[in-house]
């Protein structure tokens, strides 16, 4: 079975998203973050 390439870190989601260079991808990340918060009621 393959292992996940992504691992949890201590970096806050907002800090990670702010570091994304491509503005379209960064904005998509913020939109997805808002949608997931609304859908789950949970913080990342």
SS3 4: coil
User: pLDDT, tens digit, for every residue of 9-39?
Assistant: 999 999 999 999 999 999 999 999 999 999 9
Q: Which domain holds residue 29?
A: 18-44
CB 13 within 8 A of CB 33: yes
**Domain for residue 24, yes or no?**
yes
**Domain for residue 6, yes or no?**
no
**Domain for residue 5, yes or no?**
no
**Domain for residue 8, yes or no?**
no
**Domain for residue 37, yes or no?**
yes
**Domain for residue 11, yes or no?**
no
Calpha distance 5→23 (Å, rounded):
24
**Domain for residue 27, yes or no?**
yes
Q: Residue 24 — φ and ψ, nearest 5°?
A: -65, -45
Q: What is the pTM of this model?
A: 0.78
* Number of structural domains found in the chain: 1
**Domain for residue 35, yes or no?**
yes
């Amino acid at each position: 079975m393959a292992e996940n390439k992504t691992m949890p870190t201590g970096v806050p989601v907002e800090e990670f998203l702010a570091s994304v260079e491509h503005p379209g991808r960064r904005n998509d990340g913020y939109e997805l973050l808002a949608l997931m918060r609304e859908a789950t009621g949970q913080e990342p």
